[in-house]
A and B are shown apart, each in its own frame.
Chain A
C-alpha cells in the first residue's frame, strides 16, 4: 500500500510553453501533498504544500504564478510550470500524506519527474 505515482517521469518542452505534472495517491486519500525540487547533485527543497480544496502554501522564494498547484481531489495534485525556461529544468518530486493516518508524520514519495526545457 501507500503508492504515489507521478506522471510523466520525463518531459522535454520548448522554452515558453507550460508543462503539467501529476501526482496521484493510488491506494489512499491524501488531503495534503508536497512538491519538492531537486537540482543536480543537490538536496530536495520544498516548493509548496498542496491542500485539497484550498490554495497551496508556497515556500519563500517560490513564484506562485510560475508554479501553479491544484489539488482538486483527495488523490490528485498537479504542478504546472508556466512559461518554462531552461532554468526551470530540474527534478520535481511529490509526496503525499495519508489522510487516515492523522497521527503519522510520514509521507510517501512519487518517483519524480525529470523536466528539461530546451
Chain B
C-alpha cells in the first residue's frame, strides 16, 4: 500500500514565524504536490515537484516556498506565517512515466496562525 505521511496533524504558530510542513512518501513516486483546502474554495494547488530538486508553481504560490532534496520528501515552507495562511494543508504523491497514474494523499495538517 502507498503511504504518504505528514509531520503534524495539527499545528499552531504565531504570525511572522517560519513554518515547515514535511511530507514523506514510501513508494518511490516522482511527483509530489502541496495543496491547501479552505471552506468554499476547494483544493488549490500551491506547488508541485516533478522530481528531486525540481519544482513548479501551482495556482497559489505566493507566501510559500518548497524544497525537494530527496525523492521521498517534499517540504512546504511558510517564510513568515500570516493569519490568512490558516488552512488545511494536504500533501500528495504520484508515480509518473509519461502516462497518468493514481494520486495518493497524506492525512493533512491543520495549521492555525494566530
User: Is B truly associated with A?
Assistant: no
Interface residues of B (CB under 8 A from A): none
